Amino acid sequence: MLFEFPIGRSVYNGLQLNYRQQYKPWFFLKGGNLEASYTLSRFVSNGGNDQNFTATAFDFNTPTRFIGPTALDRTHQFSIGGVFDFKYGPRVSLISHFYSAPPNTLSVDRNGTSRAEIFRTDFTGDGTIRDILPGTQPGAFGRSISPEQLNTAILTFNNTLAGQLTPAGNALVSAGLFTPDQLVALGGAIPTLGLAPQGNLGNGTLRTLDARFSYVIPVGGERFHIEPSVGFFNLPNFSNFNAFATGRLEPLGRTAAAGTITGTASTADRVGLRAGNGTGTFAQGSPREIEYGLRITF
């Protein structure tokens, strides 16, 4: 049975700079404000990508063994926004975000079904499969290992561990039930991994600029206003891509699909990761959208 204990660890460290400017009436402005912020941060955890949603330790025997950047970690985050009221024109509202790419945790994928997979991808011997790539920590891809270094990490794994036995396999050998050669012949050994394509890509940055233009029309004095507006989400229509869903590395012989961490070498391969609207009408980084509005104030 699985039990949850409050023994995990997560740490957020950040340095935030914030600038605010209030504009007084000027020759073409009634007034306005501007705010810009920058955050340099690191968010690490030893329990999955987001510990708010049933975080699971990477090693059930030693929960604090692995710790590293989570999928919510973004090293650099810059935002700027403001509202400006022009004397002889519209009210202009702007907000823009530029965030660096999140990381992925590299793990070894299973080969087909999960039957007897503890003899292939359970490197820690805790009974769980698809373990973290040995020699790395959570969030390694995009931090300690760049897309250009991914194949070097895979080759190191293939040259040092592929074909060896996991703790579960060594237990069978120690009990005299199998020889190492028999387990290898049966496929009960650590697999060889396939390489990523040349020029494989990493996770993308977030770039977006939203703008809203409105015009306040007084009707019958100052107490009744009509304000038509038009808003643009992602006005420059920047292409934004969601992070790879997982960082699983495919065993040799299995073709990595486009849009996966070992199958994406071009923007065309990445099309399945393009940020979209999801289940609503707006999502951060989605393609340009236009919103028309009419506000009545009385």
% pLDDT > 70, the chain: 96
Cα distance between residue 84 and residue 93, in whole Å: 6
For the chain, domain boundaries: 104-202
For residue 126, how many other CB atoms are within 10 A of its CB?
18
% pLDDT > 90, the chain: 76
Element containing residue 96 per DSSP (H, E):
strand 91-99
Q: Which residues, including other chains, have CB under 8 Å from residue 287's CB and lie 6 or more apart? A: 234, 237, 274, 275, 276
Interior/surface letters 256-285, b for 16+ CB within 10 angstroms, e for the rest: bebbbbbbbbeeebbeebbbeeeeeeebeb
* Whole-number Cα distances in Å, 11 to 42, 48, 67, 120: 8, 13, 10, 32
pLDDT of residue 140: 96
Condensed to tens digits (0 to 9), the pLDDT of residues 55-114 reads 788 999 998 899 999 999 999 999 999 999 998 889 999 999 999 999 999 999 988 766
Helix-then-strand count for the chain, H and E: 3, 11
Cα distance between residue 134 and residue 166, in whole Å: 12
**175 pLDDT higher than 70:** yes
Q: How confident is the model at residue 43 (pLDDT cuts 50, 70, 90)?
A: very high
Please state whether beta strands 106-108 and 247-249 pair in parallel, antiparallel, or not at all (unpaired): parallel
Q: Which residues, including other chains, have CB under 8 Å from residue 244's CB and lie 6 or more apart? A: 104, 203, 259, 260, 261, 264, 273
Cα distance between residue 232 and residue 38, in whole Å: 23
Condensed to tens digits (0 to 9), the pLDDT of residues 48-61 reads 777 677 678 899 99
Cα distance between residue 206 and residue 2, in whole Å: 37
In terms of Cα–Cα distance, which of 89, 85, 71, 68 is closest to 247?
Answer: 71
Interior/surface letters 155-177, b for 16+ CB within 10 angstroms, e for the rest: eebbeebbeebbebbeebeeeee
Output the pTM of the full model. 0.88
Cα 235–237–240 angle (5° rounding)?
A: 125
Condensed to tens digits (0 to 9), the pLDDT of residues 109-153 reads 988 766 789 999 999 999 999 999 999 999 999 999 999 999 999
φ and ψ of 181, to 5 deg:
-65, -35
